[in-house]
């Protein structure tokens, strides 16, 4: 069948190729790899060493500053060194094997967890390419080109893992004597924002009371959440911001955040704005920060009301799934409110207050009655890094941005949000008000709803088969009572391909897949070890391969989601399979993805090829369990009413509490509960022994004492079917 491809589709494809040809961490780039230099020894590259600093002392200093600031909640992670490094005063020029020339400079900051740079006077010619990479960590950013030039001349880049990086600038001979950029800041990460075990002060991530945005509790915010982004401000602090709509509805990409996040007006230009940094489901699994935009221009800022409005350097592309949040500048206080934010700079979370906020002062340094006070969070909380995060009313419109407060997991009280209503036109100066920018039509409307501008081919969304009942883990494969590898990766029983079944009805175009990578052998991984991402059409099993792409496992990060973009248009059938093949693995290498093992009689989405034969995990597994892979698929040209999660009509509802529990739980249903209709299973699908007793007709007490700690499923069987709830058993 012949297909007609529109010019818009071709442009989208070109953009995807530029954006995703390399798994780069950060700004939109053209990908590729640095050119090789003939007969170059690493030791001959000039190196600039930053003054030695003590990470522990910097952490203590950051905590001290935080404790002595009046309850503000930015998150500082880096120490800044002011420098002036150019192709004229540092580094060295080399001839490449392709005949072009490249300038190389190593920058070392001993003990840094990562290094990020800020450029000024950044104006690359169209033939030039700039890379920043760490040889030790196999970590690369770029290529950056003339497409990254901005009128401000500023160009901040995301952190590169490790304490030594190389800057490589490639140009034709005719540009050798020209100055195209200046490195003005080297930022030493003393926390570890790229380390997945040691990424926050004192090794902490967001507090346990925080709720992941993709839990069922946040389901009604599934579109609005895409307006919230993480800010890396001037390379040293992390805050939260919101992409907001304006009355002209012209998609001007305004980011609303807190003034105290930007110590200087121009810091908007040297900040990185990260979208969709979140777990794909209700679990604290690190997201992929690939969807980022470098630089913005400050439009309005006012310290006394603590708001800042900046305009991004370009509109977030469709694959970022941007949503422009609405706002309300009336003085009407909602009955309840929620905040979406990045506590500790961590993945996106949600906090809920079921009571009305009150108008309040923050402290004597700020405008009187300029804030909305949350008396107590009912679910979730905010932390450092949440600063600038939005406060939404029940109509999902922004009514404030977080300044600070005392709220913690242990005591979730007293948080203060800038009053959007007061910031609207409290000052007549356009650089100190929101009205001028967010109501360019001078319409005098009190509120404006949010909007998803992308439609048709440009409308994208993320799909996963994971639910709140799932939990990610590395599942061992046992053959004849012996460890034989992993169900989700390397093994010695002949399993070579690992697929997830998806069902999306329509003419969807696949943009890429995020893999929840659980384990990569952390020794001397062969540079040739790779997996092949594959897409199959099929109904009951994978049948016809329609796409493949090889990925080096050294370019992936363990214990996190890793997005792999597709560089051509892929239009699968309504049911299709996406996954990977262990295509070129060395004997000493290990690669495993996270999976969720489900009990018997639940939906299975995992299919594998063993000895060249496709199998359904549920049919092949003697325990009759099911599995879902920790995958998230991004697809465009979709209908926003399509859901990848099957709808189940179940009039029977149950509650299980307390959860987690130390000994006993209560099952409560909206119908009669009989002991013989209730059973408890472990993660392996095995029925476990428990003590049960009726409290009344609709409530049952279950005692888990004597079982091992872990995740259990409580099943309630009825005439309409079986319904289950997951519970965590923590006996200490």
How many Å apart are CA 168 and CA 226, to the nearest integer?
34
Helix (H/G/I), strand (E/B), else coil: 48? strand
Class of CATH domain 24-189: mainly beta
Q: What is the pLDDT of residue 371?
A: 97
The H-or-E segment that residue 609 falls in is: strand 606-610
Return the closest-CA partner of residue 585 out of 517, 540, 534, 527. Answer: 527
Q: What is the pLDDT of residue 126?
A: 85
10: how many CB neighbours lie within 10 A of its CB? 11
Question: Quick one: tokens of 699?
Answer: 């409530």
Return the closest-CA partner of residue 392 out of 370, 409, 417. Answer: 417
> What's the distance, Cα to Cα, between the start and end of the chain in Å?
63
- How far is Cα of residue 298 from the mean position of the Cα atoms in its chain? 25
Q: Domain 463-636, what architecture?
A: Sandwich (2.60)
Rounded (to 5) percent helix, strand, coil in the chain: 10, 40, 45
With b meaning 16 or more CB within 10 Å and e meaning fewer, what string describes 34-65? Answer: bbebeebeeeebeebebeeeebeebbeebeee
Tell me the three-class secondary structure of 255-320, residue by residue.
EEECHHHCCCHHHHCCCEEEECCCCCCCCCCECCCCCEEECEEEEEEECCCCEEEEEECCCCCHHH
* Torsion 538-466-680-729 (CA) sign: positive
- How far is Cα of residue 515 from the mean position of the Cα atoms in its chain? 12
DSSP string, 528-567: T-EEEEEEEEESSSEEEEEEEEEEEGGGS-SSEEEEEE-S
DSSP string, 618-662: HHH-TT--EEEE-EEEEEES--TT--SSPP------EEEESSSBS
Question: Quick one: tokens of 307?
Answer: 């708001």
User: For 74-129, how does the pLDDT look when each residue is reduced to its tens digit (9 = 90+)?
Assistant: 678 889 999 999 999 999 998 887 778 899 999 999 999 889 999 999 999 988 99
Q: What is the pLDDT of residue 66?
A: 66
484: how many CB neighbours lie within 10 A of its CB? 16
CATH of 205-448, picked from 1.10.10.10, 3.40.50.150, 1.50.10.100, 2.40.10.10, is 2.40.10.10
Do the domains spanning 205-448 and 654-729 agree at the CATH topology level? no
Please give the average pLDDT of every successive group of 10 residues along the chain, which has 732 residues: 29 31 40 64 78 90 70 77 96 84 95 92 91 81 84 87 92 89 95 53 69 93 97 89 97 96 90 92 88 89 96 89 97 96 92 97 92 96 94 98 92 96 95 97 96 91 94 91 94 96 91 95 65 95 95 86 89 96 88 93 94 92 86 86 40 74 85 87 71 90 82 75 71 56
Rounded alpha-carbon distances, angstroms, from residue 270 to 233, 298, 335, 726? 7, 11, 38, 45
Q: What is the pLDDT of residue 495?
A: 96
* Torsion 19-25-30-33 (CA) sign: negative
Return the closest-CA partner of residue 52 out of 16, 28, 81. Answer: 81
Question: Quick one: tokens of 514?
Answer: 């995020």
| Residue spans per domain, the chain | 24-189, 205-448, 463-636, 654-729
Q: Judge whether 465 and 644 are in contact, CB under 8 Å.
A: yes
Sequence-separated (6 or more) residues with CB below 8 Å from residue 253:
243, 311, 312, 314, 315, 316, 322
Rounded alpha-carbon distances, angstroms, from residue 161 to 187, 196, 700? 12, 11, 52
How many Å apart are CA 508 and CA 510, to the nearest integer?
6
How many Å apart are CA 705 and CA 372, to the nearest integer?
46
Question: Quick one: tokens of 237?
Answer: 């602090």
Q: What is the pLDDT of residue 203?
A: 44
Q: Does the domain spanning 654-729 belong to CATH 2.60.40.10? A: yes
Q: Judge whether 496 and 677 are in contact, CB under 8 Å.
A: no
């Amino acid at each position: 069948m012949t297909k007609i491809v529109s010019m818009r589709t071709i442009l989208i494809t070109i953009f995807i190729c530029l954006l995703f040809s390399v798994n780069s961490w950060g700004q939109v780039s053209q990908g590729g790899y640095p050119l090789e230099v003939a007969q170059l020894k690493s030791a001959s590259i000039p190196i600039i060493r930053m003054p030695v600093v003590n990470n522990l002392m910097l952490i203590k200093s950051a905590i001290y500053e935080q404790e002595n600031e009046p309850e503000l909640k930015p998150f500082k992670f880096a120490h800044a060194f002011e420098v002036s490094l150019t192709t004229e005063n540092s580094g060295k020029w080399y001839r490449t094997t392709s005949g072009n020339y490249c300038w190389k400079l190593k920058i070392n900051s001993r003990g840094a967890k990562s290094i990020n740079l800020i450029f000024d006077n950044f104006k690359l010619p169209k033939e030039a390419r700039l890379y920043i990479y760490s040889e030790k960590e196999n970590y690369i950013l770029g290529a950056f080109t003339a497409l990254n030039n901005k009128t401000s001349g500023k160009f901040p880049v995301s952190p590169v893992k490790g304490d030594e990086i190389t800057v490589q600038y490639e140009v034709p001979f005719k540009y050798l004597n020209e100055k195209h950029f200046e490195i003005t800041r080297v930022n030493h990460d003393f926390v570890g924002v790229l380390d997945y075990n040691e990424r926050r002060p004192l090794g902490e991530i967001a507090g346990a009371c925080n709720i992941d945005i993709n839990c069922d509790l946040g389901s009604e915010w599934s579109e609005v959440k895409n307006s919230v982004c993480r800010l890396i401000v001037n390379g040293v602090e992390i805050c939260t911001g919101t992409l907001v709509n304006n009355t002209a509805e012209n998609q001007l990409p305004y980011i609303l955040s807190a003034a105290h996040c930007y110590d200087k007006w121009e810091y908007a230009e040297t900040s990185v704005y990260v979208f969709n940094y979140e777990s794909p489901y209700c679990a604290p699994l690190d997201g992929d920060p690939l969807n980022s935009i470098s630089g913005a221009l400050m439009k309005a800022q006012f310290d006394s009301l603590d708001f800042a409005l900046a305009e991004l350097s370009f509109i977030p592309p469709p694959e970022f799934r941007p949503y422009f949040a609405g706002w309300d500048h009336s003085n009407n206080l909602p009955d309840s409110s929620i905040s979406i934010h990045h506590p500790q700079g961590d993945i996106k979370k949600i906090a809920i207050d079921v009571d009305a906020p009150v108008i309040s002062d923050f402290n004597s340094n700020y405008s009187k009655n300029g804030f909305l006070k949350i008396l107590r969070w009912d679910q979730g909380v905010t932390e450092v890094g949440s600063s600038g995060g939005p406060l939404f009313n029940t109509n999902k419109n922004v009514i404030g941005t977080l300044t600070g407060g005392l709220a913690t997991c242990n005591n979730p009280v007293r948080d203060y949000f800038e009053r959007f209503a007061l910031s609207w036109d409290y000052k007549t100066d356009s650089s100190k008000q929101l009205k001028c920018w967010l109501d360019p039509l001078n319409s005098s409307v009190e509120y404006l709803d949010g909007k998803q501008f992308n439609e048709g081919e440009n409308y994208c969304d993320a799909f996963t088969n994971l639910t709140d009942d799932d939990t990610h883990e590395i599942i061992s494969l046992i053959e004849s009572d012996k460890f034989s590898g992993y169900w989700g990766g390397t093994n010695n029983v002949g399993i070579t391909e690992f697929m997830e079944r998806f069902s999306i009805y329509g003419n969807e175009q696949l943009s890429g897949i995020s893999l929840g990578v659980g384990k990569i052998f952390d020794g001397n991984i062969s540079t040739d070890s790779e997996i092949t991402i594959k897409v199959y059409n099929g109904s009951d099993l994978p049948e016809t391969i329609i796409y493949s792409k090889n990925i080096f496992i050294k370019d992936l990060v363990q214990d996190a989601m890793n997005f792999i973009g597709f560089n051509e248009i892929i239009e699968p059938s309504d049911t299709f399979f996406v996954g990977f093949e262990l295509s070129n693995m060395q004997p000493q290498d290990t690669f495993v993805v996270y999976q969720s093992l489900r009990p018997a009689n639940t939906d299975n989405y995992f299919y594998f090829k063993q000895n060249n034969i496709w199998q359904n995990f549920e049919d092949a597994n003697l325990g009759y369990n099911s599995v879902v892979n920790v995958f998230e698929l991004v697809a465009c040209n979709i209908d926003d009413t399509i859901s990848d999660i099957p709808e189940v009509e179940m009039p029977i509802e149950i509650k299980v509490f307390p959860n987690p529990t130390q000994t006993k739980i209560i099952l409560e249903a909206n119908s009669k509960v009989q002991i013989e209709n209730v059973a408890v299973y472990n993660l392996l699908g095995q029925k476990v022994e428990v003590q049960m007793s009726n409290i009344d007709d609709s409530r049952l007490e279950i005692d888990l004492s004597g079982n091992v700690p872990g995740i259990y499923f409580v099943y309630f069987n009825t005439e309409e079917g079986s319904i289950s709830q997951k519970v965590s058993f923590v006996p200490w």
